[in-house]
Amino acid sequence: MNIRSCVYALAFAAAVCPAPAPAAEPAKAPSHRVVLVVFDGMRPDFVSAEETPNLWKLAQRGVRFAHHHAVYLCSTEVNGTALATGAYPSRSTVVANYDFRPRIDPQKPVGIEVPSVVSRGDEVSGGRYIATPTVAEILHAHGLKTVIAGSKQVALLHDRMRRANEPGVSPVLYEGAALPPALEGPVHQEIGDFPPVPADQDKVARDAWTTGALLRELWRDAVPPYTLLWLAEPDFSQHATGPGSAQSLAAIRSSDENLGRVLAELDRRGLRDTTDVFVVSDHGFSTVAWKVDVAVELSLAGFKTGRVALGGLKPGEVMVVGNGGSTILYVGGHDPELCRRLAAFLQIRDWAGVIFSRVPAQGTFPLAEAHIDSPEAPDLVVSLRWTLDRSRTGAPGLQTSDLSPTAKKEGNHASLSPYDMHNTLVASGPDLRRGVVDTLPSGNTDVAPTVLWILGLRDEAATMDGRVLGEALTIDAPPLRGYEIRRLEASRDTAGGLWRQYLQLSEVNGVRYLDEGNGAYAARAP
């Protein structure tokens, strides 16, 4: 066991974690199982026979979802939670990767997936840090086992409940640490220590280690009804070198090779014909073309802003929390007039795209339009501007990111660019149609209810915000009731010009998918 794993295990064991949910009526053992593999940050336009042969073949024998969506903010922890719960951020309460949660830390933003934050969040909320149940929790309540394995800490959000160190327990592996902690010894003995990663290198080795741990240790006795494997690439490489770079393409090939290992193991065990395999990404990606330090910009304009709030956020102060292609703002005391002044300032900046506001403000959208109106929601959210232009690697999609001018990131996400909001979903197996391209809109909120539907827990699937992807299934499923495309617009006329913003969205069976959104200020001619 390496030092980092020891620290995680001790911190998590010492924290107050929610107790397991009471057992429901035991479910009938499903005849099929589901394996969900996540390629973190995988853009759908990089799926090809050359770069991703295993994923490509899977798509040819199953269903490729051509109009798949992340939820906004399209970042890892937000969409990791959406995949786990089938819930919009407004209900799960996870609206950003980095968020200001005063009950957890009253002075600075927290990383939503950090184990100490997760345990503290459950402590202060009575076990409702994530306010909606996850697929793993639902399956456990019905007596069904799961395996969760991820080379990133986001895997912990799928199954964070404490559990006894006993045989047969559903295991969780997250960035080399484990639940129960006693699992770490056998895993590290079998696979070796979790690889360290210098800041300037990719996470290919960590993905390979985690895949090996899944196949050789976590699946040693059996493949359970539900398995999640979360791979960190190509997200890390695309952040460092941009989409389409040599390193990013190599990372994509690495994730595809790990998928191939999973498929080969299912073949070896004779389980391929009884296993539905879903491959999804949490979000898309863009190339960083412009950088803006939003906190500095607001400070220069006379607002009392900061990235931290020593002594707590006071009335009149603004907490600025960067999330790449979007920035969230918290106002001390939720002062409505200050919120409107902030919105008016943002509307004349050339880096602002779409502005959402907690209180009504002219030229903005309510938070509810993006399903980010959680109980602890920020006062303002701004998606930064983007274009469809190409990068030096030839990849379309450029964005503005909330970064310091010296930041080295070349790729990012979390804006309302279509290259951030559209992500990958491919599925193949006994319950999926063969050789189909599904052109209906779908989203990450739909994965969990579809998984539960396949596993026979249809009442639970019906409680989720997402829909069952019935058009892609060979089994009975809810029918298509409605499909519409809408465009929302908001504007604000000022003495100096006109601000306009739009939000393009699709709805299927009442489930909303955000396609894209942007905005611009046009100054009046003198």
Task: Say if residue 1's pLDDT is above 50.
Answer: no
- pLDDT at position 417: 98
Q: Are residues 341 and 368 in the same domain?
A: yes
Question: What is the tens place of the pLDDT at every residue in 414-466?
Answer: 999 999 999 999 999 999 999 999 999 999 999 999 999 999 999 999 999 99
Question: What pLDDT is attached to residue 496?
Answer: 92
pLDDT digits (tens, 9 = 90+) for 362-417: 999 999 999 999 999 999 999 999 999 999 999 999 999 999 999 999 999 999 99
CA 392 to chain centre: 27
Average pLDDT of the chain, as a whole number: 94
What digits encode the pLDDT tens for the residues 468-523? 999 999 999 999 999 999 999 999 999 899 999 999 999 999 999 999 999 999 99
Question: Is residue 261 domain-shared with residue 323, that is, in the same domain?
Answer: no
- Rounded distance between C-alpha atoms, residue 395 and residue 386, angstroms: 14
Asked whether residue 238 is domain-assigned, the answer is yes
* Statement to judge: residues 352 and 364 lie in one domain: yes
- Within a domain: residue 260? yes
If one counts every other C-beta atom within 10 angstroms of the C-beta of residue 397, the result is: 27
Domain final residue pick, 472, 497, 514: 472
Q: Which of 68, 63, 115 is nearest to 444 (CA)?
A: 68
Domain residues for 277? 27-86+133-284+422-472
- 39 and 183 in one domain? yes
Match 């086992």 to its residue by tokens: 145
Q: Above 80 in pLDDT, residue 3?
A: no
Whether the Cβ atoms of residue 441 and residue 83 lie closer than 8 Å to each other: no
245 and 144 in a common domain: yes
- pLDDT at position 123 is 97
List Cα–Cα distances, 60 to 255, 420, 446, in angstroms.
Answer: 18, 25, 21
**What's the confidence (pLDDT) of residue 25?**
56
Per-residue pLDDT of 79-98, as tens digits, reads 999 999 999 999 999 999 99
Report which of 189, 193, 262, 254 is spatially closest to residue 229, judged by C-alpha positions.
262
Q: Is residue 193 pLDDT above 70, yes or no? A: yes
Is there a domain that residue 442 lies in? yes
98 within domain boundaries: no
User: Sheet harboring 177-179: ordered strands across?
Assistant: 177-179, 172-174, 146-150, 226-231, 33-39, 275-280, 425-428, 63-65, 436-438
Q: Are 291 and 401 in contact (CB under 8 A)?
A: yes
Position 10 scores a pLDDT of 38
113 assigned to some structural domain = no
Average pLDDT over residues 335-363: 98
* Residue at 191 is within a domain: yes
- How buried is 312 (Cβ within 10 angstroms: 0-12 exposed, 13-18 middle, 19+ buried)? exposed
- Model confidence at 310: pLDDT above 50: yes
Q: What's the pLDDT band for 162 if we cut at 50, 70, 90?
A: confident
pLDDT confidence band for 4 (50 / 70 / 90): very low
Furthest-apart CA atoms within the chain: distance in Å: 76
Mapped onto helix, strand or coil, the DSSP state of residue 365 is strand
In a domain, 480, yes or no: no
Query: How many other β-carbons are positioned within 10 Å of the β-carbon of residue 34?
Result: 26
List, in sequence order, the alpha helices (H) in 15-167.
53-61, 76-85, 89-92, 115-125, 135-141
Helix, strand, or coil (residue 348): coil
> Can you give the three-state secondary structure of 436-465, one letter per residue?
EEECCCEEHHHHHHHHHHHCCCHHHHCCCC
Determine the pLDDT at residue 296.
Answer: 98
Asked if residue 12 has pLDDT above 70, the reply is no
Query: What is the tally of helices (H) and strands (E) in the chain?
Result: 15, 26
| Dihedral pair phi/psi, residue 355, rounded to 5° | -115, 130
Q: 194 and 167 in one domain?
A: yes
Mean pLDDT of 61-75: 98
State how far the Cα of 45 lies from the Cα of 367, in Å rounded to an integer: 30
Q: Identify the residue with better confidence: 327 or 1.
A: 327
End-to-end CA distance of the chain: 68
Q: Are residues 280 and 293 in the same domain?
A: no
Residue 1 counted as domain residue: no
CB 401 within 8 Å of CB 409: yes
Final residue belonging to a domain, choices 450, 472, 494 = 472
**328: Cβ–Cβ under 8 A, 6 or more apart, which residues?**
73, 95, 96, 99, 100, 321, 378, 380, 381
297, 302, 304, 306: CA torsion to nearest 10 = 20
Structure tokens at 198: 């210098």
Residue 521: how many CB atoms within 10 A of its CB? Answer: 19
272 and 322 fall within a common domain: no
Residue 107 has pLDDT above 50, yes or no: yes
- How far, in Å, CA of 135 to CA of 147, rounded? 11
Amino acid occupying residue 179: L
Q: Which residues are paired to 501 by β-bridges? A: 490, 519
Q: By percentage, how much of the chain surpasses pLDDT 90?
A: 90
Predicted confidence at residue 200, as pLDDT, reads 65
What CATH number did the domain enclosing 462 receive?
Answer: 3.40.720.10
Alpha helices in 15-66 (DSSP H): 53-61
Per the listing, tokens 């699946």 go with 219
> 402 and 504 in one domain?
yes
Q: 165 and 195 share a domain?
A: yes
What is the tally of structural domains in the chain? 2
What percent of the chain lies above the pLDDT cut of 70? 94
Q: How far apart are CA 36 and CA 190, in angstroms?
A: 23
What's at 286, amino acid-wise? S
Q: For 23-47, how does the pLDDT look when each residue is reduced to its tens digit (9 = 90+)? A: 455 567 788 999 999 999 999 999 9
Same domain, 48 and 62: yes
pLDDT at 361: 97
The reply to whether 182 and 228 lie within a common domain is yes
Closest CA to 355 of 500, 142, 188: 500
Name the DSSP class of 115: H
Is the preceding peptide bond at 73 cis, omega within 30 degrees of 0? yes
User: In the numeric block, which tokens belong to residue 440?
Assistant: 């209906």
